[in-house]
Chains A and B, each alone.
Chain A
Amino acid sequence: MPLITMREALNQALREEMRRDESVFLMGEEVGAYEGAYKVSRGLLAEFGPKRVIDTPISELGFAGLGVGAAMVGLRPVIEFMTFNFSILATDQIINSAAKMLYMSGGQFKIPIVFRGPNGSAYQVSSQHSQALESWYAHFPGLKVVMPSTPADAKGLLKSAIRDDDPVIFMEQERMYGMKGEVPEDEDFIIPLGVADIKREGTDVTIVARSLMVPVALRAAEELEKEGISCEVIDPRTIRPLDIETIVNSVKKTNRVVIAEESHPFCGVGAEISAEIIERAFDYLDAPPRRVSGADAPMPYAKNLEALAIPDVQRIVAAVREVTYTA
């Protein structure tokens, strides 16, 4: 299998789905002539032309709404947010329109739309541009939320998201666009939404990690293996619908769990996973579930403080030692 970057994998997914289905189109700021702020849409304007690769003004609420309308009449828009921080402006269209339309129209209007772009921290872009917003969108019934952690997952999940008849929030990570991995070239390669992936098998503790935290958790697992602690790393891949079965089964085996996430802890996805585990696997726990989250504070601009605000290998290792009583 070819070794390609996350941005190339996303580009392949878009290209293949646009070739496969004429109703798929891409719209957002700088997606056409500039080929995307992170070059995810490289070559798409040249291949598909300005009717299907549309540069928009800086008007998130406007083009998100345009996308929802297009989806109502049968098209399959992919809306790129330059980052999800800017999607905050478009939440009325996403939450009040896209998420509710199927329900409020009594099933008459499905909204097969994908909102995608980078989520979470980048490099020193400070408080307003470093936010991990998955818990916002996962909160609302009617939206699916996807967060890939490898190039292959990114490709297979984006293709599924585009083919899905519901609105999908597809969250990439700026720090991961250059990450390489093996990716199948097969045009029919898709990964179903709602299926977690066991990134590493282990017996002593389960680490649930998503997006940027998956490679960090895997490095922590390697370090812990040297001490004889065997970690199972589970990547839910889809936050909603959440494959809680896979997580619970793992915890029943290991009896301990650490949840790593880049987002703030309060009312976060980690809190939800923790609650689900306690409700479903209480009798199997040997220690309280432990979250390792981003700092409960706005992201600092200073490089040293930024590093402290994002979970790293050492913090995950420390949390694992705590729940395995090996500290």
Chain B
Amino acid sequence: MATKIVMPKLSPTMEEGQLARWLKKEGEQIAPGETIAEVDTDKATMEVTANTAGVLRKILVHEGESVPLGHPIAIVGEADEDISALLTEVEKSPGGEKVKQSAPAAEERAAREERREAPSPEAPSNGERGAERIFVSPIAARMAAEAGINLRTLKGSGPGGRIIKRDIEAAIEASRQAAPRLAEAAPAQPIPSEAAPYEEVPLTEMRRTIARRLASSIGPVPHFFLTTEIEMDRAIELRRSLNELDPELNISLNDIIVKVAAAALMQHPQVNASFQERAIRYYKQADIGVAVALEDGLITPVVRAANLKSLGTISREIRELAERARARKLKPEEYTGATFSVSNLGMFGIDEFTAIINPPEAGILAVGAAQPKPVVRDGEIVIRQMMRVTMSCDHRIIDGATGAQFLQTFKRLLENPLRLLI
């Protein structure tokens, strides 16, 4: 069956895209995953890949033309399929004006337009949704345009089928959840590279009240802070042994901290969460944002599914992401959508500090330097490598005890990193 290819959202802030170059011509065969065009967004030139197989039947947006998100750019179908119905629908869809500039179809279209102008009081006999009058609330219409959602694909839940704000929110939610499913179908990729899947548990009344009251007392994200001191001797020893095994590995303490944080998050899903207006979203994998200082700012590249990755992989990824971050070559999906973050200022000799949560994450760990300190062990004063960490928690989700339990697990794992193997 013939389908439309629409202008995809290629960066978090993208609202429209300019078609830079078609890599396929009309009549050419295309396969899923194949790059078919290049699009200039507000940020960079990005590739558009096909998600269906077929023949590129019709190019609707030509090189140099700009269209908003969700606007059809081409039609894919069987070589001999009749695509006139789809063409009609595309032409009638909102923003159809822009497509009109594409010269080749103009004549055809003009003819059709004439036909359409002939008054026809009856409902369209072919049941085509494209011709129905859509009722939509103003805010819903605006949100749909911004998110690139075609209103004709939605069924309104308001009176008389009016499409309202919550229908758009549901559609955005659905498209977000649909994304990981596509990834599953993609060829052999054992560890997901997409954003963490999650389940949403509606807010209880008490949770809602806690959220409202705390938020009104301090900024939009009510922070509180938990600090603990961690004995790092075993972690340092582990790092030394690993790097001795293979100097190429070059594992850092921070890599171990990220790995341990991911493991602790899996044990404390309440912390691996984000506050939504009416629900708390619990993520099912730990996507850890690692703060990287840049010359004039900072960026937080994300290690996806750090809970599933080996220390070596995490280490390599962080190094590679940090390098590209400094070269400003990160793609948007590589620095957005973390579920938790780690910020380490130990290399600057900082003893301890507090970090500001990167919304919508619920927590961030601020890591200080590990340094030798006198501590009491079995009644004796001994020297140990001590490191102070401070976790900032979003109090709308995490309570004192919840945060403390997570930090306890984090500390226990880091003090005995061999536990990671159990």
The residues of A with any CB-CB pair to B shorter than 8 Å are 201, 203, 226, 228, 230, 255, 282-287, 325
Contact = CB atoms under 8 A, between A and B. Distances in A.
A256 to B, nearest CB: 9
A284 B138 CA distance: 6
Nearest to A284: B139
A325 B139 contact: no
A15 B164 CA distance: 53
What are the 7 A-B residue pairs with the smallest beta carbon separation, nearest first?
A: A286-B165, A286-B137, A286-B139, A255-B139, A283-B138, A285-B138, A284-B139
Contacts of A325: 157-159, 164, 166
A257 B277 CA distance: 19
B138 A282 contact: yes
Contact of B205 (A201, A228, A255, A285): A228
B137 A287 contact: yes
Determine which residue in A284, A286, A325 has the highest number of CB atoms from chain B within 10 A of its CB, and name it: A286
B164 A283 contact: no
B278 interface: yes
Chain B: number of interface residues, binned into ranges: 10 to 19
Contacts of B137: 255, 285-287
B310 interface: no
Interface of B: 137-140, 142, 157-159, 164-166, 203, 205, 208, 212, 216, 277-278
9 contacts: A282-B138, A283-B138, A283-B139, A284-B138, A284-B139, A285-B137, A286-B140, A286-B165, A325-B166
A127 to B, nearest CB: 35
A168 B140 CA distance: 42
A37 to B, nearest CB: 42
Contacts of B138: 282-286
A285 B157 CA distance: 16
Contacts of B158: 287, 325
A166 B216 CA distance: 38
A251 to B, nearest CB: 10
A283 B139 CA distance: 5
Contacts of A285: 137-139
A203 B138 CA distance: 18
B165 A283 contact: no
Nearest to A226: B205
Contacts of A284: 138-139, 142
B313 to A, nearest CB: 42
Nearest to A278: B138
Contacts of A282: 138
Contacts of A226: 205
B229 to A, nearest CB: 40
B142 to A, nearest CB: 5
B157 to A, nearest CB: 7
A100 to B, nearest CB: 40
